[in-house]
Amino acid sequence: MENANFLVVEDSPTMRQLISFSLKRFKNAKIIEAVDGVDALKKLSGPDTIDLILTDINMPVMDGLKLVSLVRQNAQLKNIPIIIITTEGAEEDRERGLALGANAYISKPIQSSHLIKTISELLSV
């Protein structure tokens, strides 16, 4: 997958940097960062067409689950693949995230190879 635009939604700068680091494996990837759900919605209405969203769940202002739900209700954004990356590893959390419309659910700590594989599958690279 070349020239993909990724939106990384994370309140932790450490995780944002780590995820962005992994995404650089995709040639000419553009990484747009947001610190919470509200910031993510602003970035989604910006000039860049987002190919995939990676979001945390626990964030201030607006959490990741609310963001997933709002994106899926929006006619223009509803088809963007979403990956949830979170510390919440319980099966019910996973089910809830997927039921809201996320395409994949990855528990922290993340393995870069697993993240790349999941993204590649979602973008059918």
Partner 1 sequence: MSEEQKAEKFLEIFNKGKEFTEELLRENQRLRYRVAAMETEASSGPSEEVQRLLAQISHLTDENRRIQQRFREVEEENKDFAHRYIEIEEQNNNLANLYVASYQLHSTLDFREVIQIVQEIIINLVGAEAFAILLLDEKTNELKAIAYEGEDVMPGVESISTRLGEGVLGMVAKTGESYYVNQDVEGSAISIEKPLAAVPLKIKEHVIGLIVIYKLLQQKDAFSAVDYELFSLLAAHAATAIFSSKLYSQSERKLNTIQSFLDLLTTTT
Decide if residue 75 touches partner 1 (CB under 8 A). Answer: no
Which long-range contacts does 60-63 make (Cβ < 8 Å, 24+ apart)?
Answer: 60/11, 60/36, 61/36, 61/37, 62/36, 62/37, 62/38, 63/36, 63/37
H or E element at residue 34:
strand 30-34
Decide if residue 68 touches partner 1 (CB under 8 A). Answer: no
Decide if residue 15 touches partner 1 (CB under 8 A). Answer: yes
Compute the least distance from the CB of residue 23 to partner 1, in Å: 11
Decide if residue 21 touches partner 1 (CB under 8 A). Answer: yes
H or E element at residue 33:
strand 30-34
Q: Which is nearer to partner 1, 69 or 107 (CB)?
A: 107
Tokens of residue 101, six digits:
């419309």
Q: Which is nearer to partner 1, 42 or 114 (CB)?
A: 114
What does the DSSP 8-state code read for residue 64? H
Decide if residue 34 touches partner 1 (CB under 8 A). Answer: no
Compute the least distance from the CB of residue 46 to partner 1, in Å: 26
**Interface contacts to partner 1, rule CB under 8 A:** 12-15, 17-18, 21-22, 87, 89-90, 107-109, 111-113
